[in-house]
Chains A and B, each alone.
Chain A
Amino acid sequence: MAIRASNVTLTLGAKDAPVQILRGVDLSVLYGSSIALLGPSGSGKSSLMAVLAGLEQATSGTVEVAGMDFGAMNEDELARARRGRIGVVLQAFHLLPTMTALENVAIPMELAGMSDAFQDAERELNVVGLGHRVDHYPSQLSGGEQQRVAIARAMAAMPKIIFADEPTGNLDSETGAGIIDLLFTRRAELNATLLIITHDPELAKRCDRIVTMQNGVIVEQTA
Chain B
Amino acid sequence: MIRLWAIAWHIARRDLSVRIRGLRLLAICLFLGVATLAAIGSLTAGIATELSNRGQSLLGGDVEVETAQRMASAEELSAFRSMGQLSETVRLCAMAIGGPDKDSLLAELKAIDNAYPFYGTLTLSDGLTVKAPAKGQIYIGPTLSERLNIRAGGTVRFGEATFTVAGIIGKEPDRLGEGFTLGPVAIISLASLPDTKLIQPGSLFQAKYRIKLPRSADPAATVKAIESRFPSAGFEITDRSNGAPGTRRFIERMGQFLTLVGLAALVIAGIGVGNGVGSYLESKRTSIATLKVTGADSAMIFRIFMIQIMAVAAIAIWAGLMTGSIAPQAIGLVIGDLLPVPAGFSIYPVPLLVSAVYGVLIAVAFALPPLARARTIPAAGLFRAVSDIKARADKRSMIGITAAIAAIIALAISTAREPLFSAGFIAAAFTLLLILTAIAYALRWVAMRLPRPKRPLLRLALANLHRPGAQTQALVVALGLGLTLFTTLATIQTSINNETRPKRPRTRP
Partners in one complex: yes
Q: Interface readout for A88-117 with B: 1 if CB under 8 Å, 0 if not?
A: 101010111111000100011011110000
Answer yes or no: A59 CB below 8 A from chain B CBs.
no
Task: Mark A residues whose CB is within 8 Å of B.
Answer: 14, 46-47, 49-50, 53, 55-56, 75-77, 79-80, 82-84, 88, 90, 92, 94-99, 103, 107-108, 110-113, 137, 153, 165
Contacts of A50 in B (CB 8 A): 379-380, 383
Partner of B286, one of A14, A55, A94: A94
Contacts of A90 in B (CB 8 A): 293, 382-383
Q: Interface readout for B293-313 with A: 1 if CB under 8 Å, 0 if not?
A: 111111110000000000000
Closest A residue to B4 by CB, please name it.
A113
Closest B residue to A49 by CB, please name it.
B383
Contacts of B286 in A (CB 8 A): 94
Interface pair A79/B383, CB less than 8 Å apart: no
How many A-B pairs have beta carbons closer than 8 Å: the answer is 91
Report Cα–Cα, A93/B46, bound state, in Å. 58
Contacts of A95 in B (CB 8 A): 290
Task: Mark B residues whose CB is within 8 Å of A.
Answer: 3, 7, 10-11, 14-16, 18-19, 286-287, 289-300, 378-380, 382-384, 388
Interface pair A88/B297, CB less than 8 Å apart: no
Cβ distance B144 to chain A, nearest Cβ, rounded Å: 70
Report Cα–Cα, A113/B296, bound state, in Å. 11
Contacts of A98 in B (CB 8 A): 14-16, 18-19, 287
Cβ distance B376 to chain A, nearest Cβ, rounded Å: 9
6 shortest interchain CB distances as A-B pairs? A83-B295, A76-B297, A79-B297, A108-B294, A56-B380, A111-B295
Contacts of A46 in B (CB 8 A): 383-384
Known: A46-B383, A46-B384, A111-B7. A76 touches B299 (CB 8 A): yes
Closest A residue to B288 by CB, please name it.
A96
Interface pair B295/A82, CB less than 8 Å apart: yes
Report Cα–Cα, A103/B14, bound state, in Å. 8
Report Cα–Cα, A217/B290, bound state, in Å. 27
Interface pair B11/A110, CB less than 8 Å apart: yes
Contacts of A83 in B (CB 8 A): 295
CB pairs A–B below 8 angstroms (23 shown):
A47-B384, A55-B378, A55-B383, A56-B378, A75-B297, A75-B378, A76-B298, A79-B296, A79-B298, A82-B294, A88-B293, A90-B382, A94-B286, A95-B290, A96-B290, A97-B287, A98-B18, A98-B287, A99-B14, A110-B10, A111-B11, A111-B295, A112-B295
Contacts of B16 in A (CB 8 A): 98
Cβ distance B393 to chain A, nearest Cβ, rounded Å: 16
Cβ distance B294 to chain A, nearest Cβ, rounded Å: 4
Partner of A111, one of B19, B296, B382, B388: B296
Cβ distance B307 to chain A, nearest Cβ, rounded Å: 14
Closest A residue to B298 by CB, please name it.
A76
Task: Add 11 more A-B contacts to A79-B379, A165-B383 (CB < 8 A).
Answer: A55-B378, A56-B378, A56-B379, A94-B286, A94-B382, A96-B287, A96-B291, A98-B19, A99-B14, A99-B15, A107-B11
Report Cα–Cα, A88/B296, bound state, in Å. 13
Interface pair A55/B379, CB less than 8 Å apart: yes
Interface pair A110/B299, CB less than 8 Å apart: no
Q: Which of B293, B296, B298, B384 has the most CB of A within 10 A?
A: B293
Closest A residue to B7 by CB, please name it.
A110
Report Cα–Cα, A53/B15, bound state, in Å. 26
Report Cα–Cα, A49/B293, bound state, in Å. 12
Interface pair A153/B384, CB less than 8 Å apart: no
Cβ distance B284 to chain A, nearest Cβ, rounded Å: 9
Q: Which of A14, A49, A82, A112 has the most CB of B within 10 A?
A: A82
Report Cα–Cα, A53/B380, bound state, in Å. 10
Report Cα–Cα, A49/B10, bound state, in Å. 30
Cβ distance B122 to chain A, nearest Cβ, rounded Å: 68
Known: A96-B15, A98-B19. A75 touches B3 (CB 8 A): no
Contacts of A76 in B (CB 8 A): 297-299
Report Cα–Cα, A96/B16, bound state, in Å. 12
Closest A residue to B381 by CB, please name it.
A55
Closest B residue to A112 by CB, please name it.
B295
Partner of A153, one of B287, B294, B378, B379: B294
Cβ distance B303 to chain A, nearest Cβ, rounded Å: 11
Interface pair B295/A47, CB less than 8 Å apart: no
Cβ distance B388 to chain A, nearest Cβ, rounded Å: 8
Contacts of A153 in B (CB 8 A): 294
Interface pair B291/A107, CB less than 8 Å apart: yes
Closest B residue to A76 by CB, please name it.
B297
Report Cα–Cα, A56/B297, bound state, in Å. 13
Closest A residue to B292 by CB, please name it.
A79
Report Cα–Cα, A114/B129, bound state, in Å. 79
Partner of A47, one of B19, B383, B388: B383
Report Cα–Cα, A199/B299, bound state, in Å. 37
Report Cα–Cα, A112/B295, bound state, in Å. 7
Closest B residue to A118 by CB, please name it.
B10
Interface pair A79/B19, CB less than 8 Å apart: no
Contacts of B300 in A (CB 8 A): 79, 111
Contacts of B388 in A (CB 8 A): 14
Contacts of A94 in B (CB 8 A): 286, 289-290, 293, 382
Contacts of B299 in A (CB 8 A): 76
Contacts of B295 in A (CB 8 A): 79-80, 82-84, 108, 111-112
Contacts of B10 in A (CB 8 A): 110
Known: A55-B379, A99-B15. A111 touches B294 (CB 8 A): yes
Contacts of B15 in A (CB 8 A): 96, 98-99
Cβ distance A106 to chain B, nearest Cβ, rounded Å: 9
Contacts of A108 in B (CB 8 A): 294-295
